[in-house]
C-alpha cells in the first residue's frame, strides 16, 4: 500500500464482507503514521448536499472530484448475486480506481466509502455509489475483531422463507410480503408466536406473511435483511405480519449469533 508521501508498506487482509462491499486492510507504519480522517455520520444526509470523492481514478493519484448527493437508500446488484442496499448515490465523478476511497462532506468528514458506478461504458456517467459511514461503523469493528461480519438474518431469527415460494403462494392475492414457510423450534420467532405454513390432506394453509419490519415495508427477503442490518444482536424489533385477514405486530429479540469461523 502506498501512502500520500509515497512510502510503501505491505498490507494484510483482516476481514471482509461481500454483502457490504467492505474490507479491512492493515499496515504497520513504524513512524510518522498518517493522520486518521475525521469520521462523520450518514443518518442525517440530505439530497443536494455537497460531497467530495478522493481516489486514484485510472491510476491518477490523489484525485479529488466534487458533486452532490443525488439520492439516498439506493440498492445495486453486487458480486455473487448479492444485493447491496442503503447506498448513497452521488454525481461526484467516480471511476475505476476510486473504489475504497472516501466520500467526504464539505467539512472534511467521512460520510461514506465509494464502492462502484453505474455506467454502460465502464467510465463516469454521473451515477456513483458509496457505502454510508454508519454502515461502515457497524460492520468494520466486527471485521477487525472476528474477520467476518455476522448480521441478524431470517435464519438467526428461526424463520425460513424464500422469495420464489412467497411469489407463488401470494400470486393473484394482491398481498405483498414474505411468507413464513416454517419456524425453528426454540427460536426467537417461535417464542414470539410466529406461525409457518400448515399442511392438511387437501390444502396448504398460509401462516404469517411478513409485511414490514420496524414499520418499514418489505417486499422480499432482501428487504428484511436490509432492515435487520440496521440492528445488533440482543436488540428488540417489531415484525408486522398478516395473519388471516388482520395485521399483527410481533416483538422479537435478536439472539446472539453463532460463533463465526474465520
CATH architecture of the domain covering 154-253:
Roll (2.30)
Residue by residue, pLDDT tens for the chain (262 residues) are 888 888 899 999 999 988 888 999 999 998 999 899 999 999 899 999 999 999 888 888 889 999 999 999 898 877 666 778 889 999 998 888 888 899 999 999 999 999 887 776 666 677 899 999 999 998 999 899 889 888 788 888 889 998 888 888 888 888 899 999 999 988 899 999 999 998 888 887 889 999 999 998 999 888 888 888 888 888 899 999 999 889 999 999 888 665 544 4
pLDDT at 146: 87
pLDDT at 261: 47
CATH fold label, 12-146: Thrombin, subunit H (2.40.10)
pLDDT at 257: 63
Per domain, the residue ranges of the chain are 12-146, 154-253
Count other C-beta atoms under 10 Å from residue 88's C-beta.
28
Count other C-beta atoms under 10 Å from residue 55's C-beta.
23
- The model carries a pTM of 0.73
154-253 has the same fold as 12-146? no
CA 132 to chain centroid, in Å, comes to 9
Q: Which triple of cell numbers denotes residue 8?
A: 510503501
Strand segments, DSSP code E, in 134-221 are 159-160, 178-179, 182-183, 198-199, 204-205, 208-213, 216-217
pLDDT at 37: 92
- Helix and strand tally (H, E) in the chain? 5, 17
Residue with cell 507504519: 29
Amino acid at each position: 500500500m502506498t501512502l500520500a508521501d509515497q512510502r510503501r508498506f505491505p498490507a494484510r487482509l483482516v476481514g471482509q464482507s461481500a454483502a457490504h462491499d467492505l474490507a479491512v486492510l492493515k499496515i504497520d507504519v513504524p513512524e510518522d503514521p498518517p493522520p486518521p480522517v475525521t469520521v462523520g455520520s450518514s443518518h442525517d444526509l440530505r439530497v443536494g448536499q455537497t460531497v467530495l470523492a478522493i481516489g486514484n481514478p485510472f491510476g491518477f493519484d490523489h484525485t479529488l472530484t466534487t458533486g452532490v448527493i443525488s439520492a439516498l437508500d439506493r440498492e445495486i446488484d453486487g458480486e455473487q448475486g448479492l444485493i447491496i442496499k442503503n447506498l448513497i448515490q452521488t454525481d461526484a465523478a467516480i471511476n475505476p480506481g476510486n473504489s475504497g476511497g472516501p466520500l467526504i462532506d464539505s467539512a472534511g468528514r467521512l460520510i461514506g466509502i465509494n464502492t462502484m458506478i453505474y455506467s454502460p461504458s465502464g467510465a463516469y456517467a454521473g451515477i456513483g455509489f458509496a457505502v454510508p459511514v454508519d454502515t461502515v461503523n457497524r460492520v468494520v469493528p466486527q471485521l477487525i475483531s472476528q474477520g467476518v461480519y455476522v448480521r441478524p438474518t431470517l435464519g438467526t431469527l428461526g424463520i425460513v422463507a424464500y422469495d420464489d415460494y412467497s411469489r407463488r403462494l401470494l400470486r393473484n392475492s394482491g398481498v405483498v410480503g414474505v411468507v413464513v414457510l416454517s419456524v425453528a423450534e426454540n427460536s426467537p420467532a417461535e417464542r414470539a408466536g410466529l406461525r409457518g405454513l400448515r399442511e392438511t390432506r387437501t390444502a396448504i394453509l398460509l401462516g404469517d406473511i411478513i409485511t414490514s419490519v420496524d414499520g418499514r415495508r418489505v417486499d422480499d427477503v432482501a428487504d428484511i435483511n436490509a432492515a435487520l442490518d440496521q440492528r445488533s444482536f440482543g436488540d428488540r424489533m417489531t415484525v408486522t405480519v398478516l395473519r388471516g385477514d388482520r395485521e399483527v405486530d410481533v416483538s422479537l429479540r435478536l439472539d446472539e449469533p453463532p460463533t463465526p469461523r474465520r
